[in-house]
Amino acid sequence: MVKNKKIGTVISIKANYYFVQYEEDIFICSIRAILKKEQKEIKVGDLVVIEESSLNDKTAVIDDVLLRKNEFTKPSIANIDQAVIIMATKEPPFSANLLDRIITTLAFYKIEPVICLNKIDVKSPDIEDFIRNTYLPLEYKIIFTSALKKWGIDELYECLKDKVSLFLGPSGTGKSSIINALNPGLELSIGETSSKTGTGRHTTRHVSLLTLKKGTEIAYVADSPGFIFLDLLNIPSLELMWCFKEFHPFITKCHYSSCLHWTEPGCAVKQNISQNSNRYKNYIEFLLEIVQKEKSDISPLRKEKSTKIRCTKGGKQIEIIRLGQKSRAGSKRLNRQKLKDEERLLEYDEEKF
């Protein structure tokens, strides 16, 4: 490493300043002009090369951004090891559909989920049993917590240490309360749950990477503002099936290789997975949403032939290259005019030869 240059982690971005942690120090950084010219986006969680401007003032300049192992747009963050999905027993009410949406999207991005059911001090045996019976057989990590009573907090920390974890979940489920329980010194703002909507009020205003220390152990947690999450509809319909673990043993045994496990005959998934199960019903719901989006995204475009070859009177071949362009159905008049122009060109060339 060049003198005064270090590799640190972006833990927060505010206005035009980047807060970068290097060992025990946090540097306030600006970005090198060439990175601005290249329109290089920097996200929370990025590993960056910084050059010190002043050790006393803890200021530096970001020289480069290292290669990311993953990145997300909503929330805008990079290099996540796992995601902790925090749901509540009530206030806001537990939603199995929402939980599966998050798990499915994480599976597509190859991020390991941890299911955390908070507020278990409010007795909810039905929800707890549902989570155990549904997700334990799929070998998902499950932790039951109460931030209020400090139940399950030590178990959760063991799951977080030495990793960068993203906390996800609806507002009001207790993300900030859990982080405060993990590290009381942070004193994050906590919001009440709305009695009208049943959802929480947003208390986190921007994505930041928090450092949770326990003795010599360190865990990094990214707390996202409210509930902004990756779009389920980014998943192609033919890849959605691979986001459901229970489908894996049967996918390749279906009669049709392109089987969507919906209405097709000879489907091994439907023969082995209960179509009345909550997870399968959610799969069909997600599939229909994705298929509908894919249909709406297909514009009435027609692929032109890449080349058109015509023979002239003299036996000479003339090749018109179309470069594989697509023409919109709404521009038929222009397309016809182009074809007429090409025909005129051919007629001219025929006369010439």
7-32 tens-digit pLDDT:
999 999 998 899 999 988 899 999 99
Residues 6+ apart with CB under 8 A from 289: 232, 233
- Predicted confidence at residue 217, as pLDDT, reads 86
**152 and 175 both lie in a single domain:** yes
**Phi and psi at residue 280, in whole multiples of 5°?**
-65, -40
Question: What does the angle CA 320 – CA 322 – CA 325 come to, to the nearest 5 degrees?
Answer: 170
- Predicted confidence at residue 136, as pLDDT, reads 97
Other CB atoms within 10 A of residue 80 CB: 23
91-114 tens-digit pLDDT:
899 999 999 999 999 999 899 999
- Predicted confidence at residue 170, as pLDDT, reads 86
User: CATH number of the domain that 39 lies in?
Assistant: 2.40.50.140
d(CA 168, CA 160): 14
On average, the pLDDT of the chain sits at 82
Nearest to 161 by CA among 122, 212, 195, 121: 212
- Predicted confidence at residue 349, as pLDDT, reads 40
Residue ranges making up the domain that contains 12: 5-67
**88 and 105 both lie in a single domain:** yes
Residue 247 pLDDT exceeds 70: yes
**118 and 183 both lie in a single domain:** yes
Cβ(254)–Cβ(268) below 8 Å:
yes
d(CA 253, CA 259): 10
- Predicted confidence at residue 100, as pLDDT, reads 96
- Predicted confidence at residue 169, as pLDDT, reads 87
**139 and 54 both lie in a single domain:** no
**217 and 177 both lie in a single domain:** yes
DSSP alpha helices (H): ranges in the chain?
Answer: 33-37, 96-108, 125-135, 153-160, 175-182, 237-240, 248-251, 268-272, 278-297, 332-352
Cβ(141)–Cβ(114) below 8 Å:
yes
Counted residue by residue, the chain has a size of: 353
Nearest to 290 by CA among 88, 118, 108: 108
Other CB atoms within 10 A of residue 286 CB: 22
Residue 235 pLDDT exceeds 70: yes
Query: Does a structural domain hold residue 72?
Result: no
Position 335 confidence tier, pLDDT thresholds 50, 70, 90 = low
**86 and 202 both lie in a single domain:** yes
HSE-up of residue 42 (Cα within 13 Å, Cβ side): 31
Query: Does a structural domain hold residue 63?
Result: yes
Lowest mean pLDDT among 8-22, 71-85, 251-265, 297-311: 297-311
Portion of the chain with pLDDT greater than 70, in percent: 75
d(CA 46, CA 326): 38
Nearest to 153 by CA among 128, 182, 176: 182
User: CATH number of the domain that 219 lies in?
Assistant: 3.40.50.300
User: CATH number of the domain that 242 lies in?
Assistant: 1.10.40.50
The mean per-residue pLDDT over the stretch 226-250 comes to 85
d(CA 65, CA 298): 36
Q: Which one of 65-69, 169-173, 210-214 scores highest in mean pLDDT?
A: 65-69
**121 and 218 both lie in a single domain:** yes
Other CB atoms within 10 A of residue 294 CB: 13
170-203 tens-digit pLDDT:
888 998 899 999 987 776 655 444 444 343 443 4
| Number of domains, the chain | 4
Query: Does a structural domain hold residue 193?
Result: yes
Cβ(107)–Cβ(230) below 8 Å:
no
Query: Does a structural domain hold residue 345?
Result: yes
